[in-house]
A and B are shown apart, each in its own frame.
Chain A
Amino acid sequence: MILIALLLPSIIFLGIVFGFPLLSYLWLSLHANSVLTSFRSIFNGWANWNRFIHDYRYWQDFLQTIRFSVASVGIELLLGLIIALILHRPMKFRGWIRSSSLIPWALPTTVMALGWRWIFNSPFGPIDQFTTALGAQSLNILGNPSTAWIATVYSDVWKTTPFVALILLAGLQSIPADLYEACRLEGASASSCFRRITLPLLMPYIGLAAMFRLAQAFGVFDLIQVMTGGGPASSTESIALYAYLNALRFLDFGYGATIIIGSFILLSILVASCWFFVHLFNRKRSIMITK
């Protein structure tokens, strides 16, 4: 039973940091706990949930977060795959190229978020300077509610594509090279071999990367808070930022907890459906391959 003793500290840490919050959020969501109650918890049944369901701001943020996540992760998977394919073959300076492309991922998000604010700044940032020099109008990307989110997607893609590329690269390197060679020897084109051999075998990695990135993107906070503050007009606000504002600006902890647990439930549903579809897809694929 020494084994259990060795395992215990880790379990305690995990329990406190993952188990306790979820239970505490559930409990808090059924109580009023805000500056109005002087931070004491007073049971008030479904009031927080009633507010949550009718909260226009939350549902707008929810859609915005989904939009951000899907766009970001989609682009990252595509670019990541391309980069992984590039880095797959041995080449000179591969180590250097790999580390340079890892740098975006290693930097703290808030450090570069300021940089992005400047790059997208209107009218002095380089992008606007470029467009005005060409004679077009200043774009004011961050000032326009319909385009600000695109800037945030771009920053997120810049930062996390290396991570995705790395995972896909690991996947590529686990595929035996002779499978691909055999396919080419049969006379098939590179792209069709890619489609029939490489891609299906890469699917688990793509699925893993997608799931991981989607879950992370769903909780996007650092980037949004520092780059746009949620603006303009809350068009880039994410649910994590909204939960944070409710807790630290509005001092409403009961409702903050409701938002978090509600989002967690929604996220679980989304991840479960994703996983379900990937599973279904894999089953279909393996049936097709064996045919």
Chain B
Amino acid sequence: MKFKSSLIVLLLVWSIMPLLWQLYTSFSTDQALVTPFAELSERWTLDHYRNVISSDPPFFMYLANSFFVGIISTLLTLFVALPAAYSISKLSRKTSNYVRVILVACALFPYVLLFLSLLELARTFSLGNNLIALALPYTALSQPLAVLLLSSAFVSLPSELDDAARVEGLSLIKRFRWIYIPLLSPAIASTAILIFLFSWNEYPIALTWISDNSKLTLPVAMARIAGSSIHSVPYGAYAAATVLGAIPLILLVIVFQKPIVSGLTSGAIKG
């Protein structure tokens, strides 16, 4: 038992340590970072946070951009994937298996490799520097996972329910609104969170589609901050930005832990 709990402690330390180190760095003065073991009168500072928050454009703008794109992607994905999942759940076993294989293949695909054509699309149709347009590729890339998760959820619905509703004369839209969506809300929640996380963390497409400083999403903004400084030890500022960038996600994970886990595991089982 002791062995196990020490393993658990090790696991926690290993997971959280780098973040704690960033936290420590973000509050240390530049001098303290360069001479860590020396005795210093000025060890702690809020300057890094001040610099990051008051930068131009303000750091919170990036969080807002990411949030905006995340919400739109999630809503659009669900809007497109729910009907598709319903369709697939009605297909014969054999066909739906084929479809599943294709979807799994798409989900496996390293989407980074798609950046070049997507850039071409952005250039041709002037979709660049537009946060709403950015939701389009995100929606497309989230389709495989969303459709897989939601179609299994649909399949798990008892068919009598569907038949009864049809007998009642409810149209498809009404059935969706009053029966399917409420019943599937846990699965929808899991899918939504996973889509939101994907869109928040996505980098290569946001990197190539957005160049305007004020429209950057968080990951791209962080990468830019990485290259911008003239100082050789700007790590205090990086650390502050890292902490600020990480906080929303940590909150998200803690609050939505259950849906995330159930989404991933059911995805794995069905896959």
Q: Do A and B actually bind? A: yes
With beta carbons under 8 angstroms apart, the residue of B137, B222, B239 that contacts A118 is B239
Contact A211 B108 (CB under 8 A): yes
Looking at chain B's contact residues, the main secondary structure is helix
Contact A6-B252, Cβ < 8 Å, known A110-B203, A208-B268: no
User: Smallest distance from the beta carbon of A63 to chain B beta carbons, Å?
Assistant: 17
Check A99 for interface membership: any CB of B closer than 8 A: yes
A25, A86, A111, A257: the one contacting B242 at CB < 8 Å is A111
- Inter-subunit contact A20/B253 (CB<8 Å): no
Contact B218 A108 (CB under 8 A): yes
A243 neighbours in B (Cβ, 8 Å)? 113, 115-116
Q: Is the CB of A86 within 8 A of B245?
A: no
CA gap between A106 and B235 in the complex, in Å: 22
Stretch at the interface among A11-19, A143-151, A281-289: A11-19
Q: Counting CB contacts under 8 A, is B98 at the interface?
A: no
Residues in B with CB closer than 8 Å to A3 are 87, 90-91
A232-266 interface with B by 8 A CB criterion? 240, 243-244, 247-248, 253, 256-257, 260, 263-264
Interface residues of B toward A: which range?
35 or more
Bound CA span A220–B136, Å: 23
Given A86-B7, A169-B265 in contact, is the A103-B253 Cβ separation under 8 Å?
A: yes
B197 interfacial by beta-carbon distance below 8 Å: yes
Q: Which of A49-57, A121-129, A185-193 faces chain B? A: A121-129
What range describes how many residues of A lie at the interface?
35 or more
Listed stretches B53-61, B161-169, B256-264; interface member:
B256-264
Known: A124-B36, A247-B116. A119 touches B21 (CB 8 A): yes
Q: Are B117 and A20 in contact (CB under 8 A)?
A: yes
A102 within 8 Å of B (CB atoms): yes
**CA A20 – CA B107 in complex, angstroms?**
16
Contact of A106 among B18, B233, B238, B252 (CB under 8 A): B252
B264: A residues at CB distance < 8 A? 163, 166-167, 170
Shortest distance between the CB of A228 and any CB in chain B (Å): 11
* Given A95-B257, A97-B11, A124-B36, 9 other A-B residues pairs in contact with their CB atoms under 8 A: A17-B137, A21-B116, A95-B258, A99-B257, A106-B252, A124-B33, A158-B18, A240-B113, A256-B116
Q: Which 10 A-B pairs have the closest CB atoms?
A: A219-B110, A10-B84, A21-B117, A170-B265, A6-B83, A17-B140, A13-B140, A99-B257, A108-B201, A219-B112
